[in-house]
Amino acid sequence: MARSETDFDDKLIDILHRPVFTTVALVGLILATYRLDLVSNVEDVTVTIVRTILVIVWILFGLRFFRLMLGTMKRSTERFALVRQSTEPLLANAAAVVFFLVAIYSILVIWNIDITGLVASVGIVGLALSFAAQDTLANLFAGVAILSDRPYQIGDFIILDTGERGEVTKIGLRSTRLLTRDDVEVSIPNGVMGATKIVNEAGGPPDRYRISTSVGVAYGSDVDQVVEVLDAVAVAHPKTLATPEPRVRFTAFGASSLDFDLQCWIQRPVDRGVVLHELNLEIYKQFAANDIAIPFPQQDVYIKEMPLGAPGSSPTDEPSIGNRTSETIVEPAT
């Protein structure tokens, strides 16, 4: 009968068996070296070699243990949000670098090698590299922040301040890739993504997206009929959701029309463009079938005659309509 929910303890025992056995054997070798009363130099070299092997063995165990922990935490994303499929290689490689540096430092100390100059040189080189690759490092740290904070995920549809809109296809350490509606892939540095405002159209608790289309009808139209037609168009479309129900709102008295707004919800934001296209086509057809007029901006032109002697008229003008100067007054239709 299993005593734990995961196999972490079993795997830990498996990877711990060899280091423990090796450590016991090497400690026995050190004790035997002291008991044999060897020459001082031989004894020191032997003990140093054994200690070096012990460092390597336990460094390798630490690396395997860390990777085992990552694999266990990856399967529990609710508790460990940072460790995911996309971040596991980064964390594993970072841990390998850290364990390697610790191993090198420990071995140098065991062999009594002065590392003061080496540490200073590494610091200077690291400082120079940080200045030379500051943009790359900024993108790298921003990528780690995006992967841990998760403002968007692969498959989400996002809109940036600069106007780019598309589906997230990949979140890398240096950049994020978007597939636009024109099937063009755009690569944006993570430094830019981390400093910009992002609208996640697929985000939020509900898995749905609202779309709306506005239309105006002529004054004198039956507003109840307009509401019924718009609601029927939204309900009949196969990609609109039944919950929440589509709704129609009488939004304004326009200059030449009564303005209505049709709002409905769809499952996938990627369908926004095609659904709006199909809704607008069907609205136009249904309005035509039900004799609902869609007005368009127009102007009426009135010609006003100017009397003789008025500014702009000629003193030789005859008192006939054809010879009188007139002005054109353009007034918008009501």
The pLDDT of residue 82 is 66
3-state secondary structure 95-114: HHHHHHHHHHHHHHHHCCCC
| 30 and 97 co-located in one domain | yes
237 and 160 in one domain? no
Q: Do 236 and 195 reside in the same domain of the chain?
A: no
Distance (Å, rounded) from C-alpha 296 to C-alpha 298?
Answer: 6
**Residue 249 pLDDT > 70:** yes
Asked if residue 206 has pLDDT above 70, the reply is no
- Distance (Å, rounded) from C-alpha 272 to C-alpha 334? 35
Pull the structure tokens for residue 26.
Answer: 């090497």
Compute the average pLDDT of residues 48-54: 92
**Any domain includes 317:** yes
* Domain ranges, residue 19: 8-132
What local confidence, expressed as pLDDT, does residue 298 receive? 73
Does one domain contain both 24 and 47? yes
Banded model confidence at residue 334, pLDDT cuts 50, 70, 90 = very low
- 143-194 confidence digits (pLDDT tens): 878 877 888 888 888 889 888 888 899 888 788 999 987 889 999 999 899 8
CA separation (Å) from 307 to 13, 164, 230, 310? 110, 60, 53, 6
Above 60 in pLDDT, residue 279? yes
pTM (two decimals): 0.52
More confident residue, 9 or 332: 9
pLDDT (0 to 100) of residue 121: 77
Residue 138 lies in a domain: no
Which residues, listed in sequence order, are joined to residue 129 by a DSSP beta bridge?
none
Does residue 264 sit in helix, strand or coil? strand
Ramachandran region, residue 88 (left: φ > 0; alpha: ψ -120 to 50; beta: rest): alpha
Would residue 145 count as lying in a domain?
Answer: no
Shared domain for 19 and 127, answered yes or no, is yes
Q: Give the CATH number for residue 97.
A: 1.10.287
Residue 321 has pLDDT above 70, yes or no: no
Query: What's the structural domain count of the chain?
Result: 4
- Better pLDDT: 57 or 208: 57
Per the model's pLDDT, the better-predicted residue between 84 and 28 turns out to be: 28
Pair (159, 177) in one structural domain: yes
